[in-house]
């Protein structure tokens, strides 16, 4: 920076206020999303550490703003250094602030022929009048402008000298930035915004985070927003806004769903627009993809629709049984990894602050929860810990089912909307930790939202305007531990016919065997049988696949605490209902050396009772087995008594006695050598054989 600017910085440091620096823009890049591009009268770019605004018509200028967070009740200051390189010298350029997007704003202007002016929509003495001032520097030299709000007064400084002081005026909007009023080449540097507001940041947050643009192989030349990354991190859907090919008239708001995939997380395929079976209307508001990758969720004004994957594409939309009337124009949503909760942003009478006459979209985050019968609850407001009197946007619940990321313009932050993180306490939906701001390397001075992460939580994906085009692009950020959710286990595999090993379309249910509560559900791909589920650590799970005409071979997983994301492959088998077939009851457990069933066995035996009830002609033989450790006579007796315990349980559940026979085989029919504890555990089993179909 040249010596003149350095001198000016020294001068205005005399009157600098002791306020936190919210934004210090040196234009080394366009991280904060200043407008870049060309129009009939202008060109704007970031180049060589400067923001350069060129306007070509005399008497016609340009304003460009960003929207840092501003608490209107607290003090602030705005400043920047301007150099007019060429053009007309008799019309102004300078600072603009509190722009509401409709033309209402305040400005502090200078002209390089020696004048300054304070502009504003209110009738204030000395507003909107040009004042001659000898210390305005001429064309080619730097002029430093600063406005300070302190003690309900606005003070105006020009090149280090206070030139005006007025009573603080009504604030209309949040936009602040740069303006000019005629033809010129204007260079801007050192745009600094200070503000007395405390931002709640994560503890132990690392610095040096970088936003990596996904590149033109993924991003389009239009506005790309709302990335939705699948749980396994291998597929990403996103929305392309206002593609002229989808518009029927200029400036019509449109949105289409696009997709890209990766095998290694590094190289992504060329993105493409989904077909007309998904992109049916001019606005297609996809909210989420289920953890199994086999169901899409769409936001509608009055509720939600789903589409399920079919062998040839996607099903027709089905309405979920939850209804409401969103009074806002926009809506976003997210689906929990277990498929049992939908979080979404709407404006309802139950909002924390509800004003139907308010022209702004002041939405709250709500949740609808599915009960055991498949019925979705009416919207539940997440409460004042999450929602503010202003607008909350783009909620995303991580795979751990507890960590919520969302956008808000109602909390102290760095831009008009920042991304925050909070953790759910307990099993309810209204008790949360105090939200933390994700910091100035993720949040910018503009709008930041649409934040999503895969189960691995290695990268976050979001929308950013910090690029050469100035349009929204999808970017990703490698995440530090301080803002990651709790680690989970991703179980992936296929649902297969146990005899033919061919894919079977099935419903997958996983439940907590300790509480006998369903922990989630999924569906498998009709063509490949592929499925995915995420599990939290420290629990004992039962997992099964269900399909008509088949019996499920149930699996169990007892998860020790994990410290990092883990993937496990487990194929789920379904046995055709045929005479002579044997099915292992993997989730039947007994007390050590006794024929007493543990409570963890009840879910599996309840399902067997249900299968027998749904198929009244089936008869089965229960078969009990042990390992070879101990007295053979005692082992034989133990196996028989355990069979009787299972039979008694099923009869007590309503199954007729004559449909169930049983045998104990002791240690005589092992399925593995009794040479390790793992193999001996495999031999200690109960199974059943279909004796009549």
- Please give the structure tokens belonging to residue 639: 């196996």
| Pair 508, 363 in one domain | no
- Each residue's pLDDT tens digit, 358-407: 777 889 999 999 998 889 999 999 999 999 999 999 999 999 999 999 99
Q: Give the model's pLDDT for residue 301.
A: 84
Q: Give the model's pLDDT for residue 470.
A: 54
| Pair 65, 131 in one domain | yes
Q: What is the mean pLDDT of the chain?
A: 90
- In order of 394, 487, 564, 566, 581, the CA distances from 458 in angstroms are 20, 11, 10, 12, 44
| Pair 412, 272 in one domain | yes
- Each residue's pLDDT tens digit, 652-692: 999 999 999 999 999 999 999 999 998 998 899 999 999 98
Contact of 408 with 448, CB cutoff 8 Å: no
Paired residues of 64 in beta bridges: 178
Cα–Cα distance measured from residue 292 to residue 304, given in angstroms and rounded to the nearest whole number: 19
pLDDT at 13 over 80: no
| Pair 227, 124 in one domain | no
Cα–Cα distance measured from residue 121 to residue 128, given in angstroms and rounded to the nearest whole number: 9
Beta-sheet pairing, 660-664 with 619-625? parallel
| Pair 378, 438 in one domain | yes
CATH number of the structural domain spanning residue 497:
2.60.40.2190
Q: Give the model's pLDDT for residue 1.
A: 42
CATH number of the structural domain spanning residue 175:
2.60.120.560
CATH number of the structural domain spanning residue 673:
3.30.1330.60
Contact of 458 with 478, CB cutoff 8 Å: yes
Cα–Cα distance measured from residue 137 to residue 147, given in angstroms and rounded to the nearest whole number: 18
- The answer to whether position 203 is within a domain reads no
- The answer to whether position 205 is within a domain reads no
Q: Give the model's pLDDT for residue 587.
A: 86
Most confident of 117-121, 144-148, 222-226: 144-148
Neighbours of 388 (CB within 10 A): 16
Domain end point (choices 553, 576, 599): 576
- Please give the structure tokens belonging to residue 597: 């069933």
- The answer to whether position 202 is within a domain reads no
Query: pLDDT grade, residue 553 (50/70/90)?
Result: confident
pLDDT at 14 over 60: no
Mean per-residue pLDDT, 94-123: 93
Domain end point (choices 171, 195, 219): 195
Beta strand spans in 126-222 (E) = 131-132, 142-150, 153-158, 161-167, 175-180, 184-195, 211-213
Mean per-residue pLDDT, 273-289: 86
| Pair 397, 349 in one domain | yes
Cα–Cα distance measured from residue 21 to residue 8, given in angstroms and rounded to the nearest whole number: 18
Cα–Cα distance measured from residue 385 to residue 435, given in angstroms and rounded to the nearest whole number: 8
- The answer to whether position 312 is within a domain reads yes
Query: pLDDT grade, residue 18 (50/70/90)?
Result: low
Domain end point (choices 550, 576, 602): 576
Cα–Cα distance measured from residue 109 to residue 132, given in angstroms and rounded to the nearest whole number: 12
| Pair 561, 414 in one domain | no
SS3 4: helix
- The answer to whether position 473 is within a domain reads yes
Secondary structure in 3-state letters for 443-498:
CCCCECCCCECCCCCCEEEEEECCCCCCCCEEEEEECCHHHCCCCCEEEEEEEEEC
Mean per-residue pLDDT, 576-600: 89
How many residues are present in the chain? 693
Q: Which domain holds residue 530?
A: 487-576
| Pair 312, 279 in one domain | yes
| Pair 102, 69 in one domain | yes
Cα–Cα distance measured from residue 397 to residue 604, given in angstroms and rounded to the nearest whole number: 30
- The answer to whether position 595 is within a domain reads yes
pLDDT at 514 over 90: no
- Element at 86 (helix H, strand E): strand 76-87
- Tell me phi and psi for residue 343, to 5 degrees: -100, 140
- The answer to whether position 401 is within a domain reads yes
CATH number of the structural domain spanning residue 405:
2.115.10.20
- Tell me phi and psi for residue 217, to 5 degrees: -75, -25
Query: Which letter, b or e, does each residue of 262-284 get, where b requires 16 or more Cβ atoms within 10 Å of its Cβ?
Result: eeeeeebeebebbeeebbeeeeb
Neighbours of 132 (CB within 10 A): 10
- In order of 139, 332, 346, 366, the CA distances from 410 in angstroms are 41, 17, 15, 16
> Where are the alpha helices (H) located in 182-296, listed in sequence order?
none
| Pair 237, 182 in one domain | no
Contact of 173 with 72, CB cutoff 8 Å: no
Of 120-124, 250-254, 291-295, 650-654, where does mean pLDDT reach its minimum?
250-254
Q: Give the model's pLDDT for residue 348.
A: 94
| Pair 551, 614 in one domain | no
* DSSP state letter for 693: -
> Where are the alpha helices (H) located in 237-302, listed in sequence order?
none
Count of the separate structural domains present in the chain? 4
| Pair 594, 692 in one domain | yes
- The answer to whether position 201 is within a domain reads no
pLDDT at 2 over 60: no
pLDDT at 8 over 70: no
- Each residue's pLDDT tens digit, 153-163: 999 999 999 99
């Amino acid at each position: 920076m040249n010596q003149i600017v350095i001198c000016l910085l020294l001068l205005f440091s005399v009157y600098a206020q002791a306020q936190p620096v919210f934004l210090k823009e040196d234009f080394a890049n366009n991280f904060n999303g200043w407008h870049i591009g060309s129009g009939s009268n202008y060109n704007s770019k970031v180049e060589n550490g400067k923001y350069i605004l060129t306007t070509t018509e005399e008497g016609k200028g340009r304003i460009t703003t960003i929207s840092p967070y501003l608490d209107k009740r607290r003090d602030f200051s705005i400043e920047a250094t301007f150099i007019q390189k060429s053009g007309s010298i008799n019309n102004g350029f300078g600072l603009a602030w509190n722009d509401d997007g409709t033309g209402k704003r305040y400005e502090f202007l200078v002209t390089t022929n020696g004048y300054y002016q304070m502009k504003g929509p209110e009738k204030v003495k000395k507003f909107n009048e040009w004042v001659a001032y000898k210390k305005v520097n001429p064309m080619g030299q730097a002029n430093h402008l600063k406005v300070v709000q302190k003690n309900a007064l606005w003070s105006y400084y020009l090149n280090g000298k206070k030139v005006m002081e007025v009573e603080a005026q009504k604030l209309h909007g949040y936009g602040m930035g740069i303006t000019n009023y005629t033809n010129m080449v204007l260079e801007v540097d050192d745009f600094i915004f200070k503000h007395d507001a405390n931002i709640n940041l994560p503890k132990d947050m690392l610095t040096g985070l970088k936003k990596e643009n996904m590149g033109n192989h993924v991003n389009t030349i239009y506005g790309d927003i709302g990335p939705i990354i699948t749980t396994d991190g291998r597929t990403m859907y996103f929305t392309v806004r206002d593609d002229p090919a989808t518009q029927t008239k200029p400036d019509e708001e449109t949105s289409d769903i696009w997709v890209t995939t990766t095998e290694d997380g590094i190289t992504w395929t060329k993105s493409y627009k989904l077909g007309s079976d998904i992109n049916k209307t001019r606005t297609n508001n996809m909210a989420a993809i289920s953890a199994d990758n086999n169901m899409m969720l769409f936001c509608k004004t009055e509720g939600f629709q789903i589409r399920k994957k079919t062998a040839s594409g996607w099903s027709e939309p089905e309405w979920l049984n939850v209804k409401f009337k969103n009074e806002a124009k926009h809506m976003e949503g997210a689906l929990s990894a277990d498929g049992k909760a939908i979080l979404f942003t709407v404006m309802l009478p139950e909002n924390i602050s509800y004003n139907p006459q308010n022209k702004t979209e002041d939405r709250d985050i709500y949740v609808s929860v599915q009960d055991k019968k498949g019925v979705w609850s009416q919207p539940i407001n997440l409460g004042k810990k999450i929602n503010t009197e202003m607008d909350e946007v783009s909620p995303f619940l991580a795979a751990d089912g507890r960590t919520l990321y969302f956008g808000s313009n109602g909390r102290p932050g760095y831009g008009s909307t920042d991304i925050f993180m909070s953790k759910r306490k307990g099993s309810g939906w209204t008790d949360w930790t105090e939200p933390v701001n994700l910091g100035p390397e993720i949040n910018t001075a503009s709008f930041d939202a649409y934040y999503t992460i895969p189960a691995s939580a290695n990268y976050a994906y979001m929308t950013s305007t910090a690029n050469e085009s100035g349009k929204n692009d999808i970017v990703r950020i490698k995440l530090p531990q301080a803002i990651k959710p709790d680690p989970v286990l991703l179980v992936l595999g296929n649902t297969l016919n146990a005899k033919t090993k061919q894919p079977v379309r099935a419903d997958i249910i996983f439940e907590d065997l300790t509480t006998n509560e369903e922990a989630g559900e999924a569906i498998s791909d009709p063509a490949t049988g592929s499925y995915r589920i995420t599990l939290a650590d420290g629990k004992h799970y039962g997992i099964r696949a269900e399909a008509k005409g088949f019996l499920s071979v149930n699996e169990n997983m007892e998860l020790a605490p994990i410290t990092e994301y883990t993937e496990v492959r487990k194929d789920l088998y379904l046995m055709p209902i045929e005479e002579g077939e044997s099915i292992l009851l993997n989730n039947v457990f007994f007390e050590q050396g006794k024929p007493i069933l543990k409570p963890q066995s009840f879910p599996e035996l309840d399902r067997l009772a249900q299968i027998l009830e749904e198929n009244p002609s089936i008869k089965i033989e229960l078969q009990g087995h042990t390992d070879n450790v101990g007295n053979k006579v005692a082992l034989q007796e133990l196996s028989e008594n355990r069979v009787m315990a299972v039979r008694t349980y099923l009869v007590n559940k309503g199954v007729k006695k004559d449909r169930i026979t049983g045998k104990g085989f002791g240690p005589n029919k092992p399925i593995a050598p009794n040479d390790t504890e793992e193999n001996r555990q495999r031999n200690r089993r109960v199974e059943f054989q279909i004796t009549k179909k």
